[in-house]
């Protein structure tokens, strides 16, 4: 298959329209059979549930070319399951797991010309999403929904090298206790926009959100989970029911334990102990791990020993091992690599 004439290595993380997308509609209590379409536009009634009451959820995963030339995705079953959980929390119909995986297969297959070649560092970002589509004015869930998957090629995350981030402890909250922090809903992002714009204005790369109830414990950033490495090489991650369960973070914890032989722990992490960690990273599909070099707590700087010029040694090993697994250079645990073709 002839690839598109794209400068893969210089792509950023922005929307590049591809040729095809997947669409399935839910009406009268059931999903239709779904189809691939070329039309990137959606026509909606002015009163659609998503427009009035933000009834929308999404997922994010990547397709890429492995060393031996296969096109694969990473643990799409977990994206399917997470989207089912998100749908239930927002009173939306569940899009079945087998259909989700089949839809990902279909939309990647027809867009094969946009799947970046091995070694380019670029990937085809896959964005499944679902929204309430019929008119809703009284507050209630919509009766009709659209499930859709768009794809867009994205460039290497660490273009021009790894740069550890400077983040701040945010005075804004991301998710309420017993709220929707644990699901992948657009509403969690809408409310984080002011905080991130403000962080950037103040010269920070990201916000570290705390638990809103006590403001003493670390939760996550707007779109990535935290991993910390202790001075005795234990990998720890915050435990909270208002954190979005990152598939990258869950996979890295397994890599730490099974591949690197490190001790791992998911527990409450207090702001007070941040100064004691050796390394800190942000985990998510986009970057796998972005190292954090500095955490600023209202003017007080916590500089991680790993520094501001490269990844810490454990973070680097985690990063190299997981990306090695994803690219087919290191043997994957059963079921992690889903071969599309």
Binding site for ligand PLP (CB under 6 A): 60, 184, 220, 223-225, 244, 246-249, 283-285
Pick 136 or 223: Cβ nearer ligand PLP: 223
Pick 3 or 89: Cβ nearer ligand PLP: 89
Asked if 145 and 26 count as a contact pair (C-beta separation under 8 A), the reply is: yes
DSSP structure class, residue 203: T
**Cβ-Cβ contacts under 8 Å for 73 (sequence gap 6 or more):** 61, 62, 63, 104, 108, 126, 338, 340
Pick 136 or 283: Cβ nearer ligand PLP: 283
d(C-alpha 94, C-alpha 65), whole Å: 30
Say whether 341 is catalytic: no
Pick 153 or 284: Cβ nearer ligand PLP: 284
- φ/ψ of 146, rounded to 5, equals -120, 135
Please report the DSSP string for 55-119 in residue order: -EEE--EEEEE-TTS-EEEE-HHHHHHHHHHHHHHTT-PPPPHHHHHHHHHHHHHHTGGGSPPTT
Catalytic residue among 97, 159, 163, 184: 184
Nearest distance, CB of residue 11 and ligand PLP, angstroms: 19
Sign of the Cα pseudo-torsion (238, 94, 89, 56, in order): positive
**Cβ-Cβ contacts under 8 Å for 293 (sequence gap 6 or more):** 164, 165, 166, 303, 304, 306, 307, 308
Asked if 145 and 131 count as a contact pair (C-beta separation under 8 A), the reply is: yes
Pick 148 or 249: Cβ nearer ligand PLP: 249
Positions marked active-site: 184
């Amino acid at each position: 298959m002839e690839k598109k004439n794209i400068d893969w290595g210089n792509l950023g993380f922005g929307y590049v329209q591809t040729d095809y997308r997947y669409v399935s509609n839910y009406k009268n209590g059931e999903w239709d059979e779904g189809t691939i379409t070329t039309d990137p536009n959606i026509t909606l009634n002015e009163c659609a549930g998503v427009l009035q009451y933000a009834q929308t959820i999404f997922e994010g995963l990547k397709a890429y070319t492995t060393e031996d030339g296969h096109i694969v995705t990473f643990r799409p079953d977990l994206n399917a399951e997470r989207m089912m959980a998100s749908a239930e929390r927002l009173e939306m119909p569940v899009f079945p797991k087998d259909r989700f995986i089949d839809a990902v297969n279909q939309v990647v297959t027809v867009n094969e010309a946009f799947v970046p070649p091995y070694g380019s560092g670029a990937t085809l970002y896959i964005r499944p999403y679902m929204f309430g589509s019929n008119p809703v004015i009284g507050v209630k869930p919509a009766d009709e929904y659209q499930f859709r998957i768009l794809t867009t090629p994205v460039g290497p995350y660490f273009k021009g090298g790894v740069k550890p981030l400077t983040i701040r402890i945010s005075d804004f909250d991301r998710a309420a206790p017993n709220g929707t922090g644990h699901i992948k809903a657009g509403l969690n992002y809408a409310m984080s926009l002011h905080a991130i714009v403000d962080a950037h204005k103040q010269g920070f790369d990201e916000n570290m959100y705390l638990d809103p109830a006590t403001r003493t414990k670390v939760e996550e950033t707007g779109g990535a989970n935290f991993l910390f490495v202790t001075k005795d090489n234990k990998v720890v991650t915050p435990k909270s029911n208002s954190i979005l369960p990152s598939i990258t973070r869950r996979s890295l914890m397994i890599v730490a334990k099974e591949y690197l032989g490190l001790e791992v722990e998911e527990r409450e992490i207090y702001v007070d102990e941040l100064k004691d960690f050796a390394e800190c990273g942000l985990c998510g599909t986009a970057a796998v791990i972005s190292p954090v070099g500095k955490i600023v707590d209202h003017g007080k700087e916590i500089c991680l020993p790993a520094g501001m010029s490269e990844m810490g040694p454990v973070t680097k090993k985690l990063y190299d091992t997981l990306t090695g697994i994803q690219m087919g250079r290191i043997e994957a645990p059963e079921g992690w690599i889903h071969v599309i073709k």
